[in-house]
Amino acid sequence: MWILRINMTDRSYQLKDVPKAYKLLGGRGLTSTIIHDEVPPLCHPLGPNNKLIFAPGIVTGTAAPTSARISVGAKSPLTNTIKESNAGSGWSPALAAMRIKALVVEGQPEEKGKFWMMSLSWDQAEGKPKVEFLAADEYVGQDLYEVYPKLFERFGKVNIAGIGVAGDFLYSNSGLVFDDLTGRPSRYAGRGGLGAVMASKGLKFIVLDPKGAPGVGIADKALFDEGGKKLADALRTADITKPKGALNTYGTAVLINIMNEAGGLPTKNFSSGRFEGAPNIAGEAIFEGNKERLGKELYNHACSPGCIIQCSNTWHKPDGTEHVSCVEYESDWALGANCGIDDLDNVAELVRLCNAYGLDTIEAGTTIAVAMQAGLAEFGDGKRAIELMHEMGKGTPLGRVLGNGTNTAGHVLGVVRSPVVKGQSMPAYEPRAVKGIGITYATSTMGADHTAGYTISPEILGVSGKTDPLSPEGKAEVSRAFQAATAFITDTTGHCLFIAFAMDIPSCFEGVVDEVNGVLGTRYTVDDIAKLGAEILRKERAFNEAAGFSKVHDRLPEFMKYEKLPPHDNVYDVPDETLDAVYGEL
């Protein structure tokens, strides 16, 4: 196994053996450790001293089900904290197949504004990866739906990681886009503005061709296979994850109606927890709309190799041609309910434009909602929202304000109701109606982030226990446990977050641990997972503290403490002492 270091100052590279301290890590555990060890906490995120790290999960590239995740880490230009963002794609197994534990991008070219792409393939004669740097200026400023087909035509059957115009413009809301199984530029490590970090390195694309690579080594094949079977059986049994279950049928947007009913669907810039137009954009509406337009039922597909949940949907135009894939719950909410838009065709076009321009859909939607709050558009005006998205794509003065995210737009436009923590906008769960997820938003090392500790499982879905979403009681412990478990069991192993929906089946958790032990040759137990995750969180917290963050930054926006949220008319009443206890007892 190797660490591949790319120096963009002189476009050189070094292939080094993995240090002993990193051998048992992968994914987020590895990206955050390298950042903790090597990146100056006070560096400018777009300066020469930041680093961009790509790391497949521990079991990524194997036959482990639903495990093709790539973690991308850096100091974030959006939050100024440590950041890990991940995506499911064939790109990650391709990197793992070449036995690259981490790809670290360092330095930046002296010549500003020039872009390169990196081609990484397997050298059969040498028995190791090889790197080639190629000019990429011809692709700058282009729609990614136009660029990716050109790259596939040029390089053949490869996998691509890249940035769109949002990265070209160095927007704090610029994601890293990976190809899906059909080559669409639609699988995003979207949060935190890491596309701008890649752009600051002068790097436009990383093209992987793993043909001939040896694949991932497995220390104990029998144990690994046993673990994979346990996990697969659990996922095929659980109601949410089984074939033709909720996720395979309705996609993640099945949560629209569920959260709306709970009064926790943020609507019209977090002014309400219910949206009257929710049924028009929900997962059920996508399923029925496709059925009407195609004349048949359409179930969802996998976003990445080996996924057996298969929750990625496709929305079609009235004439039956494809409009966009995928309309995820977060995207559907951000560009739909939060903007007061209840037309799926408008939502789909906004998602498509985010993919085309290289924008995170969550941050883009919450930014447009703040712009609507400021009077730049009326809530519900989908056509105007599309125009604002084009402003970002063109890089106009207004587009640059909006492209730098919700926090920037709120400051420039004078909007008090700006739903951000540590500079990053909140996702699709209202903290005043779901108290535990608010604790995760406040205390996560990476700004407001539902995936950091998904307390929605017990608070709304009744998975991994059942708690009252409106009560703050015991939620610090719940959030802390979920944050620690997530840091390792999904983000470090390379599994999708949605395996959590089968965690009530004991063999699910056991299966993941068996897989990890099978690959690494370790003897971890289920009880070790929380400790391993907590160690990752401590490293992230230490980096943030050295960057100037403290417990006073672990707070939700002030307006949530005094603005009552319909329909429950609750404020966010979790005491500061409870928020401080999350990491105080880690």
Q: Where do the structural domains in the chain lie, given as residue ranges?
A: 2-209, 252-299+310-428, 429-495+521-586
Give the model confidence (pLDDT) of 360-412 as tens digits: 999 999 999 999 999 999 999 999 999 999 999 999 999 999 999 999 999 99
| CA 585 to chain CA mean position, Å | 27
Which pLDDT score, from 0 to 100, does residue 36 have?
A: 98
DSSP 8-class letter at 450: G
Q: Tell me how far apart the terminal alpha carbons of the chain are, to the nearest angstrom.
A: 32
Which pLDDT score, from 0 to 100, does residue 586 have?
A: 78
Residues 6+ apart with CB under 8 A from 157: 209
Q: Give the whole-angstrom CA distance, residue 107 versus residue 13.
A: 11
pLDDT exceeds 90 at position 472: yes
Q: Give the whole-angstrom CA distance, residue 449 versus residue 453.
A: 8
Residues 6+ apart with CB under 8 A from 479: 436, 437, 439, 440, 443, 453, 455, 582
Q: Give the whole-angstrom CA distance, residue 280 versus residue 336.
A: 10
Which pLDDT score, from 0 to 100, does residue 502 have?
A: 95
pLDDT exceeds 80 at position 585: no
Name the band, by pLDDT with cuts 50, 70 and 90, for residue 465: confident
Cβ burial of 222 (10 Å; 0-12, 13-18, 19+) is exposed
Tokens at 402, concatenated: 């909006």
Cβ burial of 231 (10 Å; 0-12, 13-18, 19+) is buried
Which pLDDT score, from 0 to 100, does residue 464 have?
A: 85
Q: How many Cα atoms sit within 13 Å of 121 on the Cβ side?
A: 13
| CA 576 to chain CA mean position, Å | 28
CA angle 455, 457, 459 (to 5 degrees): 65
CATH number of 429-495+521-586: 1.10.599.10
Give the model confidence (pLDDT) of 405-434 as tens digits: 999 999 999 999 999 999 999 999 999 999
pLDDT exceeds 90 at position 183: yes
pLDDT exceeds 80 at position 185: yes
Percent of the chain at pLDDT > 70 equals 100
CA angle 4, 6, 11 (to 5 degrees): 145
Q: Which CATH number fits domain 252-299+310-428: 1.10.569.10, 3.60.15.10, 3.90.330.10, 2.40.110.10?
A: 1.10.569.10
pLDDT exceeds 90 at position 578: yes
DSSP 8-class letter at 459: I
Q: Give the whole-angstrom CA distance, residue 197 versus residue 467.
A: 39
| CA 76 to chain CA mean position, Å | 13
Q: Give the whole-angstrom CA distance, residue 171 versus residue 512.
A: 37
Tokens at 56, concatenated: 């497949």
Question: Would you say the CATH fold of 429-495+521-586 matches that of 252-299+310-428?
Answer: no
> Which stretch of DSSP H or E encloses residue 399?
helix 397-403
Give the model confidence (pLDDT) of 292-320 as tens digits: 999 999 999 999 999 999 999 999 999 99
Tokens at 450, concatenated: 């539902």
Q: How many Cα atoms sit within 13 Å of 63 on the Cβ side?
A: 13
Amino acid at 484: A
Which pLDDT score, from 0 to 100, does residue 133 have?
A: 98
For the segment 227-253, the average pLDDT, to the nearest whole number, is: 97
Tokens at 164, concatenated: 């769109």
Q: Tell me the residue ranges of DSSP E strands in 310-437.
A: 315-316, 322-324, 420-421, 424-425
For the chain, the residue count is 586
Residue 232 main-chain phi, psi, to 5 deg? -60, -45
Give the model confidence (pLDDT) of 498-530 as tens digits: 999 999 999 999 999 999 999 999 999 999 999
The rounded mean pLDDT for the chain is 97
Q: Are 447 and 424 in contact (CB under 8 A)?
A: yes
What's the pTM value of the predicted model, to 2 decimals? 0.98
Q: Are 483 and 455 in contact (CB under 8 A)?
A: no
Q: Are 352 and 390 in contact (CB under 8 A)?
A: no
Which pLDDT score, from 0 to 100, does residue 113 have?
A: 86
Which pLDDT score, from 0 to 100, does residue 4 have?
A: 98
Number of neighbours of residue 548 by Cβ within 10 angstroms: 11
Name the band, by pLDDT with cuts 50, 70 and 90, for residue 285: very high
Q: Any idea of the CA torsion for 375, 379, 380, 385, to the nearest 10 degrees?
A: 50
* Closest among 210, 168, 162 to 185, alpha carbons compared: 162
CATH number of 2-209: 3.60.9.10
Name the band, by pLDDT with cuts 50, 70 and 90, for residue 75: very high
Which pLDDT score, from 0 to 100, does residue 435 have?
A: 98
Q: Are 482 and 505 in contact (CB under 8 A)?
A: no
Q: Tell me how far CA of residue 189 lies from CA of 71, 174, 248, in angstroms.
A: 8, 9, 22
Q: Give the whole-angstrom CA distance, residue 279 versus residue 250.
A: 13
Residues 6+ apart with CB under 8 A from 127: none
Give the model confidence (pLDDT) of 79-137 as tens digits: 999 999 999 999 999 999 999 999 999 999 988 889 999 999 999 999 999 999 999 99
